[in-house]
Structure formats: structure tokens, C-alpha cells
A and B are shown apart, each in its own frame.
Chain A
């Protein structure tokens, strides 16, 4: 009992130090990257987090933001909400003004908390799509195209570049989870508008075996297949699609398709498949060159150097580029120390920021936290993902209908 009390006292004193630390003026700006390194999101987290840390390192080596360094608080949440909430509360206490969970269940459990605590939460390519409605979710920034925007964008690409949608048969093959089902309403809406036939096919999670689903898909004789999965199931989907006679050029995927998947499929075999792309891939970009020069080559990289420039690495870099831009604007406007509210205002001041050509120009506003829903389509050319379109956006009216509907539901549910 006594040792228990002592432990409590000790813990409380540590906590007290944390509080007094956060109050100092020339403290670093703290971003909490509390992600899932060990469970469901492992396929992306390693590279994504490495990109985030390397970018932060780059900013710090270039002098920080007006002399303020950025400090990353990194913890594993194992995709468990209770661990995520603990890590979030602790990080908030250490002075974090931005959190990134990269896990839909954890960020969903944190929604009410970040709104109450006025801490910015970025939900890059995960979390609630309806958080794009900034008036309902003032502290949550999806920041890149939501799954709804990705779906409309892919369909629009078929419409414009692959011979139109009218009269076509589109198969939506998805992992049987809320994530897989999410884009279905906007696709159905679009199917009515553009007069094409849409059919949906679910395969059981985690998707390591999908042969029955694809036998069914083949009998539909789809003109195009849209894949909606993540992780190991994606490679299985593509292999099954090719095996069932669907030309690679007509296979399109959600953003979760990377170099590893292409390698598992077989680099030659995968040639021609297309995916949604939120951030440019490769190292042939100004930011990436600076990261290579100033972070990787001197040996300050956060992980294996072969990951630099991969799809998920670059998404991580871009996410932090936007966040630091927001922090820079907030510092200019409100001065130090930054708070969640001033950082949020910083985000909302961002206009046409493209991270030196790395990503589509995004602008946030009080009512738009998605940033326009831009993206592009890229194609696996046998060695790398190569963009085949410019950054564009499509059918945002349908997307926003969906956003408004769900946001309204959230408001009522409170």
C-alpha cells in the first residue's frame, strides 16, 4: 500500500513537471505521432512515420520555425483505443498541440476529446471523412482527399481517360469493413448520374484468400475494377483480378497501394495497374532532395534509407509539411507560444500550399478541412509509380452531400 502511494506521489510529481514545462515560452512545438506500429496499420506506419520524422529533422536542421524547434512525441498505440487515449492524454500534458493517430478506431475514439481539449488532430487518409466539415469538427483536419473524394476521382478518371462511364460495368471490390463500404454511397449516386452499372463485392478481412469473390466478379464481366482494401489483401486482389482476365490497365485502387504491393504481385505483372495518389512518390522533388542532403546523407535518418521516397514515406513527409506550414502561419499571426486554437487558425490560413510540388495545392477554410479533395492517378510502370494525370478533383458536390449528411448526424448524436 505504501509503495503504491509513493508511486502515485512520484507519478504526480512527474506530471507536475510536465505541466510547468509546457508553460515556458521558448519551448519547442510538440507534435504527437501516436500511431499503430504493431497491429493493423503496420503496412503503412513504419514508412509513414519515418517520413514524418525525417521531415521534422529537416525543419529543425534548417533552423526550425522562427527559432522554435519541432519535437515529435512518438508512441505505439497498437490500434487499441484505450492505449491511444492514454498516449493522447499524456502527450497533451507534455504540451502537444497536434496529434496524428493514423488509426481509424483510435482517432474516432478521440474525436470528442480533441474537440473538447482544443487540440488539432490530423486524420490523413484515415478517420472520419465527415470531419471535412470544419464547422462541426473545428479541430480535425482530414487534410487530404477523403475516401469519398478518392472514389469520385477514380470514377471521373475512367469517365475522362478510359472511354467514358456511360453503359460501363464497374465492380467495386472491397474488404468487408466500414472502410471498404464507405465509398459505396457516392459511387451509387454517381452511377445514377453517369448511367453506369455498379456492383459491389466484399471479401472477408484480412483478405488473404479471395478466390470465391473474384469468380463472381469475373462473371459480371466488369470493364473496370476498383479495389478498396489495405495491406496484404491488396496484392491478393490484384493477382486475382489479373488471373480472372481483367486487364491491368483497368484495375484501379484506393490510395493504399504501394511499392511493396507491386513487388508482391510481381513487378512485371503489376505493370499498368492504377491507383489514387495523394502525394507524389519518389525522391525527385525539392523537399526530398533536401531531406536526402541534410538528413539522410549525414546519417540522421529515422530509419532504413531505402524507404526514402516510397509512397507512404512521402505521404508522411507531406503531412508534416502541411502541419509545419500551418504552425509557421500561426506563429506569424499569433506569435509564440502556439496553442491548439492558434494552430487551427494557422491551418485555416493555408492557401494553395503544395509542399514545393510534392502534393496538390491545398487550401483550408473554416468550412473546408479537406483542402479541396485533390489527387491524381498514377500507374505502375514496372519499376515505379508514375503519374498519368495532373492534380484534379471531381464531383465534390456529391462528396459534400455525404459529408454534410454524416456531419449532421454527428451534431445530432452529441
Chain B
């Protein structure tokens, strides 16, 4: 047993897992406040990456300005999506809401590549390609930066829920009607959570876009993000952090040892099994609130 190999799989897995958390964070923010599973989050990540690319490559802005503008843009996009689409869906069956977000995803997947060109674009964040080498272990710098950003974002979200506005959001996530009765604007709170999800998509879009280039395949990050969300619990930000680590590590260590035997990439199998086993044994995830009605 090669301990260096194991450690490398473990560390890089943990880092990529945290980058998945970044995508998952948006889903949790929205679900926590409104109970809407936003399956368009992957497409929102893609749109943010396109926005950053527009800022940097078409408008010639410095990266930091482009990022800031993208955050503003995506925040507004989130607000709009909530106002125009999701607000009308209150009280509808969950399948309708799921399909609505999927319809939004299809729309966005036509919009971004349609307006800006379907060929992949490159996004350079200026992260050095060479790994950090500790003994036998190579650590990917881009993933390290991504993981740090992810942790910062998650901690910021946790802190945000301690602020005045965040407390309102928590109240909304507890109960819409009681929040109304104490004078909290539920609509605005949900809108803000969509805006925040849009902003967090920008971080994910920038990091993943720099790693693989910007095209519609960014929206396929949804699948690992869903695994993170299910494992961590749909409404737990803390869960995103822990589950991201677990999904990343299992999705790296298990394929690392099993792939050579099976002769195929097993990471998606691991991800699928995580989703399945979580749902069978603990549907609300590790840290989710257990108010799911069981059969």
C-alpha cells in the first residue's frame, strides 16, 4: 500500500470536493429559504463563467472588476428568477418546481452559448499550473485556491446567517406563515437567497471555468453538487462543507483503487451510490432537518 498515493488521492479529493461544495452552496441557500430544489444552479454557474469571460475578454476589464460585475449581475439574475418564475410556484407540487428549474436550465444553456458562441472559451485566473509538492504528494494549486475560496464562502454564509438579515432568512426557512405574522417580508428574504445563490455561482464559475474552459459542460457540475447537497442535508450550510469533503474524498480514493481493476471511470458510480445510500438510510442527509415525511 502506497501511502503517498493514498494521501494524494485524499487531499486532491478533499479539495475538489470543496469546489463541488461551491456549486452546492447555491442550491442549499435557495432550498433553505424557500424549499425549492434549484436544478438550474449548474446552468447559473455556466452563465456566471460566461459573464466573467465577457468582462475580461470582450470588455477588457481587469479580472477583479469582471468578477465584481459578474457578482452584481448574477445577484440581479437570482432576484429576477425568483420574482418572475418561482414566486408563482408557491404551493405547486414539487415535481412542477423541479421541472421549472430544469426548463430554466435548458433555456440558459441555449442563451449563454447561443449569444456568445458555443466553442469553449478560456478564463485565466493566473493560478500557477505547477503543483505544490510535499514529499511524494502533489497538490493541485488551482484546486487548493478553489477549496480556500469555497471554505471562505461557506464560512461567510454561516456568519451571514448570524446577521440581522440572516436571522430573518432563518426565520423564513423555519416557517413562512409565522415569519409573515411577525412582519418579515418572506418574498424579499427568498429573493435575497436567490441573489446570494447567484453570487456564489460566480465563484464556482470562475474557478471551474479556469480549470476546464468555459462552455455549456459547466452546467454538468450539477450532478456532483446534488450528491453533496443530498449527503449534507438540503438545508444545511454546514452540511455542504462536510459532505463536499466526503463526496470529494470518496470520489477520488475509491476510483483511485477500483478503476484499475474495473477498467473504467467509477467516479460517477461512487457519486450515484452516495446519493442512493443516503436516500435509503438517511433521506434528510447528515445535517438536514428531519421534517421529511416518510412513507
Q: Do chains A and B touch in the complex (CB under 8 A)?
A: yes
Chain A residues proximal to chain B, CB less than 8 Å: 37-39, 42-43, 45-47, 176, 200-209, 211-213, 215-216, 218-219, 231-233, 235-236, 239-240, 242-245, 260-261, 263-266, 269, 304
Set of chain B residues within 8 Å of A261, measured between Cβ atoms:
120, 213
Report if B113 contacts A (CB, 8 A): yes
Establish whether residues B215 and A216, one from each chain, have CB atoms under 8 Å apart when the complex forms.
Answer: no
Count chain B residues whose beta carbon lies closer than 8 angstroms to a beta carbon of A: 48
Docked CA distance A78–B140 (Å): 35
The reply on B255 being an interface residue by CB < 8 A is: yes
Q: Nearest Cβ in chain A — how far from B261, in angstroms?
A: 12
Q: How distant is the Cα of A261 from the Cα of B214 in the complex, in angstroms?
A: 11
Contact A208 B220 (CB under 8 A): yes
A–B Cβ pairs within 8 angstroms, 28 of them: A37-B118, A38-B118, A39-B216, A42-B118, A43-B118, A43-B119, A46-B118, A176-B264, A201-B259, A203-B267, A204-B255, A204-B266, A211-B13, A211-B252, A212-B253, A213-B255, A215-B5, A215-B9, A215-B256, A219-B5, A232-B120, A232-B212, A232-B215, A243-B138, A260-B121, A260-B122, A261-B213, A304-B117
Q: Which of A37, A205, A215, A269 has most chain B Cβ within 10 Å?
A: A215
- In the bound complex, residues from chain A placing their C-beta under 8 Å from that of B122 are 235, 260, 263-264
Which of chain B's residues have a CB closer than 8 A to the CB of A263?
Answer: 122
User: Could you tell me the distance in whole angstroms from the C-beta of A30 to the nearest C-beta in chain B?
Assistant: 25
Q: Which of A46, A209, A211, A240 contacts B117 (CB 8 A)?
A: A46
Shortest CB-to-CB span from A72 to chain B, Å, is 19
Contact residue among B13, B138, B216, B265 (Cβ-Cβ distance under 8 Å from A244): B138
Q: B129–A269 contact, CB under 8 A?
A: yes
Min distance, Cβ B275 to any Cβ of chain A, angstroms: 15
| Apart from the given pairs A243-B130, A264-B120, 13 other A-B contacts in the complex at a CB distance below 8 Å | A38-B118, A202-B265, A208-B218, A213-B259, A215-B9, A216-B5, A216-B256, A231-B217, A239-B142, A243-B131, A260-B121, A261-B120, A269-B129
What is the bound-complex CA distance between A16 and B216, given in angstroms?
Answer: 39
Q: When chains A and B are docked, how far (Å) is the Cα of A47 from the Cα of B119?
A: 8
Picked from A38, A215, A232, the residue with its CB within 8 Å of the CB of B213 is A232
Whether, in the assembled complex, B175 has its beta carbon less than 8 Å from a beta carbon of chain A, the answer is: no
Residues of B within 8 A of A304 (CB): 117
Residues of B contacting A: mostly: helix
Determine whether the beta carbon of B217 is less than 8 Å from that of A232.
yes
| Complex: A176 Cα to B124 Cα, angstroms | 27
B208 to nearest A CB, angstroms?
Answer: 7
Please give the distance in Å from B93's CB to the nearest CB on chain A. 28
A42 touches B13 (CB 8 A): no
Chain B residues with CB below 8 A from A265, complex form: 129
B208/A208 in contact, CB under 8 A: yes
> Is B101's CB within 8 Å of the partner chain A?
no
Given contacts A211-B16, A264-B212, contact A200 B117 (CB under 8 A): no
Who on chain B is nearest to A236 by CB? Answer: B212
Return the 3 tightest CB-CB contacts between A and B, nearest first: A42-B118, A176-B265, A204-B265
Binding site for A on B (CB under 8 A): 2, 5, 8-9, 12-13, 16, 109-110, 113, 117-124, 129-131, 138, 140, 142-143, 208, 211-213, 215-218, 220-221, 251-253, 255-256, 259-260, 263-268
CB distance from A19 to the nearest CB of B (A): 33
Given A208-B211, A213-B265, A260-B121: A219 and B138 interface contact (C-beta under 8 Å):
no
Would A206 and B213 count as touching, CB distance under 8 A? no
Bound together, the chains give a CA A215 to CA B253 distance in angstroms of 10
- The answer to whether B113 touches A38, judged by C-beta atoms less than 8 angstroms apart, is yes
How far does the alpha carbon of A245 sit from the alpha carbon of B215 in the complex, in Å?
28
Closest chain B residue to A245 by CB distance? B138
Q: How far is the CA of A232 from the CA of B109 in the complex (A)?
A: 16
How many Å from the CB of A200 to the closest CB on chain B? 7
A111 to B42, CA, bound (A): 35
Least CB distance from A31 to B in Å reads: 22
| Contact B9 A212, beta carbon cutoff 8 Å | yes
The answer, among A208, A215, A269, for a CB contact under 8 Å with B217, is A208
Contact in complex: B267, A212 (CB < 8 Å): yes
The distance in angstroms between the C-alpha atoms of A242 and B138, with both chains bound, is 12
Across the interface, do B256 and A212 meet the contact criterion of CB distance under 8 Å? Answer: yes
Q: How many angstroms between the C-alpha atoms of A37 and B118 in the bound complex?
A: 8
Shortest C-beta distance, B39 to chain A (Å), equals: 18
B120 touches A260 (CB 8 A): yes
Contact yes or no, B110 A38, CB < 8 A: yes
Chain A nearest Cβ from B117, distance in angstroms: 6
The answer to whether A235 touches B5 (Cβ under 8 A) is no
In the complex, chain A residues whose CB is within 8 Å of the CB of B13: 211-212
A211 touches B140 (CB 8 A): yes
One of A201, A212, A235 near B12 (C-beta < 8 A): A212
Of B213, B215, B252, B263, the most chain A CB neighbours within 10 A belong to B213
Contacts of A205 on B, CB cut-off 8 Å?
Answer: 265, 268
Evaluate contact between B212 and A260: CB separation under 8 angstroms: no
CB-CB nearest in chain A for B270: A204
Is B113 touching A242 in the complex (CB atoms < 8 A)? Answer: no
Q: Are A212 and B255 in contact (CB-based, < 8 A)?
A: yes
A206 to B259 Cα, complex, angstroms: 17
Please measure, in the bound complex, the distance between the C-alpha atom of A72 and the C-alpha atom of B138, giving whole angstroms: 51
Most buried by A among B13, B122, B123, B263: B122
Quick one: closest A residue to B124, CB to CB? A266
Give CA–CA (A213, B12) in the complex, Å.
Answer: 11
Cross-chain contact B130 with A216 (CB below 8 angstroms): no
**B130: chain A residues within 8 A (beta carbon):** 242-243
Instruction: Determine whether the beta carbon of B8 is less than 8 Å from that of A215.
Output: yes
In the complex, A232 Cα to B208 Cα: how many Å? 11
Given A204-B267, A235-B213, A43 contacting B256 (CB threshold 8 A) = no
Contact of A243 among B140, B208, B263, B267 (CB under 8 A): B140
Establish whether residues A200 and B118, one from each chain, have CB atoms under 8 Å apart when the complex forms. Answer: no
B contact residues around A231 at 8 Å (CB)? 120, 215, 217
A233 — nearest CB in chain B belongs to which residue? B212
The residue from B215, B259, B265, B267 contacting A43, defined by CB atoms under 8 A apart: B215
Least CB distance, B16 to chain A, in whole angstroms: 5
